């Protein structure tokens, strides 16, 4: 997306160019390579422009838009690990979109299922990440974290009220949490 303003040094986050370099690095990580391979096997290969760095007005790290690809919010990224996490999380959404011919992101149940899977399989809720976020619970932290992050994402969906998001998440929790495709088990 040329012509978009980039960050000035010291303003927090990275410039679009710096973030694009970080995305290129993340494409070489084993987990990203694995997910790209499985997208390809599922018939949904992704081109070079599928993952782009952009400046985001909302306080978010990135997102996936069906048919458009993945955006990584450069102005909210500081470290390579953050970019890797966003890319992995969003590639899981892309994989879900690819394998489910009728996935409807406006359907709270569909959205909840993909968020549960992405939160569980991406490593977003690894206990070290949770400690860095200030969540100190050791036992049961992972599922609690996934639930918290699913709700945060779902509430941003204009088609899902908080009550609808919670009901959708609870309705599909067991099935979606235990669906680890394309992995044999949760990484």
CB 164 within 8 A of CB 107: no
Residue with tokens 């609690």: 144
- State the catalytic residue, choosing from 90, 115, 130, 142: 90
Give the three-class secondary structure for 7.
Answer: coil
Give the three-class secondary structure for 60.
Answer: coil
For residue 109, what are its two tokens?
Answer: 């149940």
Phi-psi label, residue 6: left if phi above 0, alpha if psi -120 to 50, beta otherwise: beta
90 is annotated as an active-site residue: yes
Q: Where are the domains of the chain?
A: 14-99, 101-186
CB 154 within 8 A of CB 169: yes
pTM over 0.95: no
For residue 60, what are its two tokens?
Answer: 């978010």
From first to last of the 187 residues of the chain, give the pLDDT tens digit: 333 333 333 457 999 999 999 999 999 999 999 999 999 999 998 888 899 999 999 889 999 999 899 999 999 999 999 999 999 999 999 999 999 978 999 999 999 999 999 999 998 887 666 566 666 666 667 888 899 999 999 999 999 999 999 999 999 999 999 999 999 999 8
Q: Which of 156, 147, 124, 185 is nearest to 56 (CA)?
A: 156
């Amino acid at each position: 997306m040329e012509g978009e303003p980039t960050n000035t040094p010291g303003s927090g986050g990275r410039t679009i160019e710096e973030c694009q370099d970080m995305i290129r690095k993340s494409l070489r990580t084993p987990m990203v390579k694995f997910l790209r391979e499985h997208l390809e096997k599922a018939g949904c290969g992704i081109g070079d422009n599928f993952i782009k760095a952009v400046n985001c007005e909302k306080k978010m790290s990135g997102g996936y838009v069906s048919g458009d690809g993945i955006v990584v919010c450069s102005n909210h990224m500081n470290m390579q690990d953050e970019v890797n996490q966003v890319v992995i999380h969003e590639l899981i959404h892309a994989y879900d979109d690819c394998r489910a011919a009728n996935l409807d992101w406006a359907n709270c149940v569909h959205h909840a299922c993909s968020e549960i899977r992405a939160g569980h399989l991406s490593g977003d809720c690894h206990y070290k990440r949770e400690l860095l976020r200030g969540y100190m619970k050791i036992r049961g932290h992972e599922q609690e974290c996934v639930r918290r992050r699913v709700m945060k994402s779902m509430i941003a969906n204009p088609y899902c009220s908080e009550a609808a998001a919670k009901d959708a998440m609870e309705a599909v929790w067991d099935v979606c949490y235990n669906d680890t495709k394309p992995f044999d088990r949760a990484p």
